[in-house]
Amino acid sequence: MTNNLIRKYNVPGPRYTSYPTVPYWDQESFSPAAWNKSLLRSFKDNKNISLYIHLPFCESLCTFCGCNKRITKKHSVESPYINNLIKEWDMYLELLGEKPIIREVHLGGGTPTFFAPQNLQLLLETLFSKAEKHPNAELSFEGHPNNTTKEHLTSLANLGFNRVSYGVQDYNEKVQKAIHRIQPFANVKRATDEARQTGFDSVGHDIIFGLPFQNKDHIVESIEKTKQLMPDRIAFYSYAHVPWIKGNGQRGFKEADLPTASEKRDMYETGKQMLEEAGYVEIGMDHFALKSDSLYKAMEQKELHRNFMGYTTSSKTSMIGLGVSAISDSWFGFAQNEKTVEAYEAKIAEGVIPVVKGHILNEEDLTIRKHILNIMCNLETSWETPENYFKELPEVLMSLKEMEEDGLLTFLDHGLKVLEAGRPFVRNICMAFDLKMKANKPDTQLFSMTV
């Protein structure tokens, strides 16, 4: 990849975990009642659901983090928060009117393993007792290598959890100090080994490139150590530097401490080559998996899906988000919960689902969403059938001509395919389809850079 292409296409852009993206949701036409209606519409056709549970508490602040979190060492917050999650679940069950089938659960945060194993067990047993669990349910959680204990793993495995992802980020001590995330390789190895010993059949590691003080040698070191453990999945993604959105958390270092766009891309290409030589296959954008992993199999069968949990194998289920800032997706609509613990608790106390904003998709939104999902998941899309055509498509295709000339994509008879050289710019290709963003140019930067 040439530096000219990097300079040309390194612009702010979404990661497309949804379309429309959150900043362009239509608040005027949205209401909690409209969201409820969209969820019931989806549930009527498919009783399977995915659950995302946001557990926001962390004992210390990682300065690279863009998640919604609450820093505290007071573990007395655990029980009240769990009680509110259960009350929110009860409200959704009352809305649905019959038992859903839980196809997927993901515990995110924050730090889910901030919670004591017995409290996580209480929460999950209560949720499961009020629904059916699919026999092939995929249950996963995000673990911190420093505080994920054998007891955590055993409790969750006994409940059917089979996948864990550990945030590794980088093994270099200077980088770890800059991002306030000190975790020796020994801790990651222990957490990985114990997950496998406990029965988890998919262990993932997250590695970030573009962190402060990071260089290519650090990436080589991190991936060499990762290869010693051979996790089933690896998320190898670019640090999203958005301090104007995330506040002081991402200001623990100077802009000058960050690598340049070309240095970042060199890190990625180096890491990608090392991972592929080790037997990993690139899945969608910035994700890698061994051929034995379900994510690879979903890609092969073109059943890969992308939502607010990232890449997933469950494409035909509604996703209900429980907890602070959690986002739900019925396919026909999105809804996000209150973003602070206090506001969330207040809504629960009122006996209402704690939704604060969202978007109901119109027919054009649904069509464009399909194209963006196809590109993000399959690196191709088609508008051969009438339901995949929209009136602005000719303009979209004209705007992609330059990318075709740059060798990033190729046009088919009634579709397009992203070429290998275009993989780093898949977000840019999707942006050509993003009519909401084109129609509403913001005054300030909303997204991280695409390269």
206 is in an annotated binding site: yes
Question: Which amino acid, one-letter code, is at 267?
Answer: M
Residue for token digits 């070309």? 262
Tell how far CA 312 is from the center of its chain: 9
The angle formed by the CA atoms of residues 221, 223 and 226, to the nearest 5 degrees, is 115
358 is in an annotated binding site: no
65 is in an annotated binding site: yes
142 is in an annotated binding site: yes
423 is in an annotated binding site: no
Judge contact between 397 and 391, C-beta under 8 A.
no
52 is in an annotated binding site: yes
3-state class (DSSP) for residue 300: helix
377 is in an annotated binding site: no
199 is in an annotated binding site: no
Q: In 131-266, where do the E strands start and end?
A: 132-143, 163-169, 202-209, 233-238
**Distance between CA 201 and CA 196 in Å, rounded?**
7
Tell me how far CA of residue 368 lies from CA of 93, 98, 130, 393, in angstroms.
31, 32, 36, 10
Question: 207-228: buried (b, 16+ CB within 10 Å) or exposed (e) per residue?
Answer: bbbbbbbbebebbeebbebbee
**Distance between CA 30 and CA 357 in Å, rounded?**
7
66 is in an annotated binding site: yes
The annotated binding site for [4Fe-4S] cluster is made up of 58, 62, 65
The annotated binding site is made up of 52, 58, 62, 64-66, 109-111, 142, 169, 181, 206, 240, 327
The annotated binding site for S-adenosyl-L-methionine is made up of 52, 64-66, 109-111, 142, 169, 181, 206, 240, 327
